[in-house]
């Protein structure tokens, strides 16, 4: 019984248990970051790239989203603070034909990823990452909103406003989680970080080729 152990032994036991706990937590977070990476590869990056076309204020936060391979911890911290408090707006409405195309494409795209998204939501490790879980639920909700509508054309103005709001929620959470993930790549996987920088959806001049 641990209650009857000498104080010196008890101290060592607690240190060992704490070390094991920290190691297990580190391993779990590493697995979780792998899951987040797969999400951005399969869904997140493409979705951000599509949504940003309807963001009239991109220029105001583009500096914070133009991640460079030379970025320091301070650069990431400043960017994360700015995007977290930024007031996002999107122009997805019936007056813009491209809006309809976007909503129809997003509907097909997300529905095609339904099993993938469900598998992520069923991952018990996600309980340790509340912000990513919020993002997944927001994406899943947008998918269901679009899927439940037989058609995306000729909807009431109020309905387009509702879908615009759902997309804003996804967009905001995507950007915040993306920056967090980019920082993780920069610290642990420089080669993956390099590719992510070269395919940055917020950089209009981005190209995968290295010149």
Task: Give pLDDT tens digits along the chain (211 positions).
Answer: 444 445 555 555 555 555 556 666 667 777 788 889 999 999 999 999 999 999 988 778 888 899 999 999 999 999 999 999 999 999 999 888 899 999 999 999 999 999 999 988 888 777 667 899 999 999 999 999 999 999 999 899 999 999 999 999 999 999 999 999 999 999 999 999 999 999 999 888 777 777 7
pLDDT of residue 152: 92
Nearest alpha-carbon partner for 62 in 182, 175, 174, 169: 175
* CB 117, CB 143: distance < 8 Å: yes
**SS3 of the chain: helix, strand, coil, percent, to 5:** 75, 0, 25
pLDDT of residue 7: 57
pLDDT of residue 156: 93
Helices (DSSP H) in 40-156: which residue ranges? Answer: 45-51, 58-65, 73-85, 97-112, 114-121, 130-147
Structure tokens at 66: 């133009």
Residues shown for the chain: 211
Q: How far apart are CA 94 and CA 161, in angstroms?
A: 9
pLDDT of residue 4: 46
* Residue that has been written with the tokens 């959470």 in this structure: 173
Under DSSP, is residue 78 helix (H, G, I), strand (E, B) or coil? Answer: helix
């Amino acid at each position: 019984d641990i209650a009857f152990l000498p104080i010196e032994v008890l101290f060592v036991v607690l240190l060992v248990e704490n070390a094991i706990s920290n190691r297990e937590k580190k391993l779990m977070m590493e697995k979780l970051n792998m899951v987040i990476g797969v999400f951005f590869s399969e869904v997140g990056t493409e979705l951000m790239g599509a949504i940003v076309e309807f963001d009239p204020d991109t220029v105001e936060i583009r500096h914070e989203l133009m991640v460079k391979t030379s970025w320091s911890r301070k650069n990431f911290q400043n960017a994360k603070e700015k995007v977290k408090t930024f007031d996002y707006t999107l122009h997805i409405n019936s007056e813009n034909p491209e809006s309809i195309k976007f909503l129809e494409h997003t509907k097909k795209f997300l529905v095609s990823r339904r099993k993938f998204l469900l598998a992520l939501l069923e991952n018990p490790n996600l309980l340790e990452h509340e912000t990513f879980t919020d993002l997944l639920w927001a994406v899943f909700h947008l998918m269901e909103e679009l899927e439940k509508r037989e058609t995306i054309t000729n909807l009431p103005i109020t309905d387009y406003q509702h879908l615009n709001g759902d997309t804003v929620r996804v967009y905001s959470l995507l950007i915040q989680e993306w920056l967090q993930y980019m920082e993780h790549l920069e610290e642990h996987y420089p080669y993956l970080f390099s590719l992510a920088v070269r395919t940055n959806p917020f950089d209009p001049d981005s190209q995968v080729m290295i010149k």
